[in-house]
Each structure stands twice: as C-alpha cells, then as structure tokens.
Amino acid sequence: MATMIEENGPSTHEQSEVSSSSQARQKLEGLLNKSMRIRMTDGRTLVGLFLCTDRDCNVILGSAQEFLKSTDTFSQGEPRVLGLAMIPGHHVVSIEVEADSLDDTQGFGANH
C-alpha cells in the first residue's frame, strides 16, 4: 500500500481555510468578556458579558440582564437579572457589541 506525501506542504486551499478560521477565532477571542446585546426571536433582549460560543452558535453570557419587548419604543422597562445565561443559536436574531466595551480594547481589529 502506497502513501502519498506532499512535498510542498498543504495546498493553497487548505492554507486559506486555516488562515480564515484562525482570523475568525482571533476576532471571537478579542470579543471575550466584552458587553454584548443579543436580540432573540421572541422579542427579548439580553445584555451581558460574552463568555463563550460553540459550533451551533449557542452563546453564553455572564452577568446577563433580560429586557422584555416593550410596546413603548422609548422605554425598555426594568431589567430582570439572570446571571449566567445560555442563548440557543437558533433563537439569536442579532448580536451587537456595546461601543464602550470596545473602547477598552487596545488595537481591536488592528494588525499586531
């Protein structure tokens, strides 16, 4: 039985997949412990610190607060403190990083 050995290392296609996945991983790692606002399919909004995610796009927020969808667009109402919360990926409508949370990051998105 013969074994094929690539003399030039991985193909260009494999290298581009690896580099794009490592760039995506670096971006996610840069968002760790940043304040995020996640809107869900049922109208609720959760705000908390981004702790982790997985392949199914489930998100774990720490120190999370829940805001119910209000009929009055100008008031969010009183938040309900949840603490640690897991949001299933299929319920996520949008994810926003709080601007003040990004200001704390030095060089986010910049080449080092």
In sequence order, which ranges of 32-103 are alpha helices (DSSP H)? 99-103
Give the C-alpha distances (Å, rounded to integers) separating 40 from 33, 56, 68, 105: 20, 15, 10, 26
What is the model's pTM? 0.69
The type of residue at 80 is R
pLDDT of residue 109: 47
Strand order through the sheet with 59-67: 80-87, 59-67, 45-53, 35-40, 92-97
pLDDT of residue 65: 97
pLDDT band at 77 (very low <50, low <70, confident <90, very high): confident
DSSP state of 70: P
Q: What is the pLDDT of residues 16-74, one digit of tens each?
A: 666 788 888 898 899 999 999 999 999 999 999 999 999 999 999 999 999 998 655 55
Decide which of 66 and 110 is more confident: 66
